[in-house]
Structure 1
Amino acid sequence: MPRRLLVLGSSWFLGRAVTDAALTAGWDVTTFRRGRVESGADPAGVTTVRGDYADPAAVAALAEAGPFDAVVDNLAYTPRETLAVARALEPVVERYVLVSTLSAYAGWPIEPLTEDSATLDCAPDAGPNPGHNGDPGPSTYGFGKAGCERAVTSTFGADRVAVLRAGVILGPHDYVGRLSWWLRRVRRGGRVLAPGDPLRGIQPIDVRDVAAFALRCAAGTPGVFNVTGPGTETFGDLLDACARVVEPPTGTELVWASDEFLVSQGLRQWTELPLWRAYPGTWAVDASRARAAGLVTRSLAETVRDTWEWLTGDAPVGHERAGELGIMPEREAEVLAAWTDRQSGR
């Protein structure tokens, strides 16, 4: 009899990838989603339960659809809501896989991290937007995820829970659009403002690799895991891969400007030049525990290629977060001119 998997949030990006991977692997999949038109149709081959994560009646109805061998929760943001979901599902779910984030660490992005690094202090029953925001430093998003981790672990017990503290996830169907922005920018051509050191190691991970590891955990691998790329590829590798797949106009040039200069120009880190952050802990995350537990990651070049194929073939559905990203062309030209003047001593 096929194992039964419940996926909370199945239409966008990681939830979609988990659902697809589970169907391919032969799981009997039930998805729980609101079913908004803009987030896409229900995947073929799944049972869909519609409802809101924050609605106790909907969650109670979902529990009645059990039992399940495992749940993968992509919707955990507010601890109080996650605590209620965990309590409702605990009698009918054997294992809980919680998708968390590196932002749950108190030291991210300032210092190197392992799974033993301190996390932010948030109660398992905290309400929306707990804690505070800092730049750099803590965020209400990170506090909330830390509280969700406590909510699930306190309900299920550590031996029935896998917490995936994911780093930057890229790949096809990415609604945030960090890689998509770079692909489109390189495709436009000209002088492209490239941030920092091209030899800086970076640790993004393909969404399909996170999904495969989530399924491994759902099948019976508990624990807390940092889920990132290995850090053996660089920002230069990423933008070179973009240039190879998009075939930009002749004369396109990557102009690498130093962190110090970009900071002095007041550029917003992480958003105005996506994936750029000058803080030393950004890409200093130890994911060896996940690799020992079976995490396998593909090359950045494959992720870049497949994302471009998706962008140019599937007419991606827009998402509000994509509007947060990218430097305006006029502003980029100003910064490039200032960098050129600095380099020439003017």
Structure 2
Amino acid sequence: MNILLLGGSKFLGRAYAAAALARGHQVTTFNRGVSRTDLPGVEAVHGDRASLADLERLIGDRRWDAVIDTSGQQPHDVAQTARLLRDRADHYTFVSSIHAFAQWPAEEVDESSETLDCDADLPPDQPFANALKAGCERAVQKYFGERSLILNCGLLIGPHEPIGRLPWWLDRIARGGRVLAPGDPEHRMSLIDARDFAAFGIDLTERGTTGRFVTTAPAGSTTMGELLRCCLAATGSDAELVWTDDATLLAAEAGPWLELPLWTPDEAEWYGTWRADSSKAEAAGLKIRPLAETVRDTWSWLEDGGREEVSYLAAGNPVGMEPEKEQRILAAG
């Protein structure tokens, strides 16, 4: 297949490019060329998808079998892209997020769940909001209709993760000592390796599959305890995990999700975080590798220079707890 990959140099886009190349597909990547280098073997076209001139230069007189969009954040930009490509490609995959669902994270979600209210023709340069992904979905569906595929991804981890949730835990545990381990070690989680997501996405593109898939690991397929034990094993650390209950952490103003990455208290507002129903994707062939393999590969990547790719920021918010605060909470316990 001849594939246009919007993105292609960073994390999930990079995983898509690697998977497509490994299967012998022709891949054109389109990105700004400023954050990462493109993989050898792709035809790299650099430009800004917000620029009409750059998009027109990319498209020219070309045609692709499929478009895979891993970089769409603004409905206006996605609508402009899809409008220009609707007669130049047969199929359009848009990588969205479970954040696009109106009920998440308070409730379980599946493909039938309502998405947030956001217009496909929203003006450009909107401030970050989860609803924007829902607007991007509508933009793709507006111009590609039944030729579109929406993948609502769960929490992605693995090598080349730019935000740094798993990398933070790996580095913290590698430092050793007493480690503040949040909540119940048996608290269920669902984590998907970006490489597994991309492999499944390419499978669907090759088949011309359309519609919507919630794409994450099976609900509750791992635990916080297993995640941190995998970090201990991967790093060879002798760190001591000090499990601290939700109430103690909240009383100490420890921040869920980002300050203690991936920790979600057992409270109603977080109920559905790890309960997205991926059974449709599993039935369609989604395969999830062992968590230990993902953690081990991520540590190897970090040790081989990967830390230069990690921002430890999520939508401008810092990821990870400051050592001084961690020590205060440990001492108080």
What is the distance in 1 between the residues matched to 2:68 and 2:153?
A: 14
159-168 or 309-318, which moves further after superposition?
A: 309-318
Q: Alignment partner for residue 332 of structure 1, among 323, 326, 330?
A: 326
Residue matched to 2:89: 93
Residue matched to 1:82: 78
Does the CA contact (< 8 Å) of 1:59 and 1:85 recur in 2? yes
2:136 matched to 1:148? yes
Deviation track 1:29-74 (CA, whole Å, cap 9, x = no partner) reads 00001111xx232321111111101000111122225211111111
What is the distance in 2 between the residues matched to 1:227 and 1:256?
A: 30
With structure 2 as the length reference, what TM-score do the two structures score?
Answer: 0.94
Residue matched to 2:28: 30
Q: What's the CA shift for 1:130?
A: 5.4
Residue matched to 2:102: 106
Q: Alignment partner for residue 274 of structure 2, among 272, 283, 295?
A: 283
The 5 Å alignment of 1:1-346 reads 3-36=1-34, 39-64=35-60, 66-128=62-124, 140-157=128-145, 159-219=146-206, 220-230=208-218, 231-249=220-238, 252-278=239-265, 279-322=270-313, 324-338=318-332, 340=333
- SS of the residue 1:151 aligns to: helix
Q: Between the two proteins, what is the percent identity of the paired residues?
A: 45
For structure 2, list consecutive stretches of 5 or more residues without a partner in the other structure.
Answer: none
What is the distance in 2 between the residues matched to 1:83 and 1:198?
A: 43
Deviation track 1:6-32 (CA, whole Å, cap 9, x = no partner) reads 110111100011001100001000000
Q: Which amino acid aligns with 2:168?
A: W
Deviation track 1:140-179 (CA, whole Å, cap 9, x = no partner) reads 431100000000011101x211111101100001111110
Does the CA contact (< 8 Å) of 1:6 and 1:31 recur in 2? yes
What is the distance in 1 between the residues matched to 2:126 and 2:100?
A: 12
What is the distance in 2 between the residues matched to 1:191 and 1:168?
A: 27
Deviation track 1:75-101 (CA, whole Å, cap 9, x = no partner) reads 111101110100001100111110101
Does the CA contact (< 8 Å) of 2:165 and 2:312 recur in 1? no
What is the distance in 1 between the residues matched to 2:324 and 2:47?
A: 44
What is the distance in 2 between the residues matched to 1:72 and 1:260?
A: 43
What is the distance in 2 between the residues matched to 1:146 and 1:108?
A: 13
What is the distance in 2 between the residues matched to 1:79 and 1:263?
A: 36
Q: What's the CA shift for 1:107?
A: 1.2
Q: What's the CA shift for 1:313?
A: 1.6
- SS of the residue 1:97 aligns to: strand
Does the CA contact (< 8 Å) of 1:66 and 1:93 recur in 2? no
What is the distance in 2 between the residues matched to 1:129 and 1:267?
A: 32
Does the CA contact (< 8 Å) of 1:121 and 1:143 recur in 2? yes
Q: What's the CA shift for 1:319?
A: 4.3
Does the CA contact (< 8 Å) of 1:130 and 1:143 recur in 2? no
What is the distance in 2 between the residues matched to 1:261 and 1:208?
A: 36
Does the CA contact (< 8 Å) of 2:312 and 2:320 recur in 1? no
Residue matched to 1:136: none
Shift in CA distance, 103/129, structure 1 to aligned 2, threshold 3 Å: farther
- SS of the residue 1:84 aligns to: helix
Q: Which amino acid aligns with 1:112?
A: E
101-110 or 56-65, which moves further after superposition?
A: 56-65
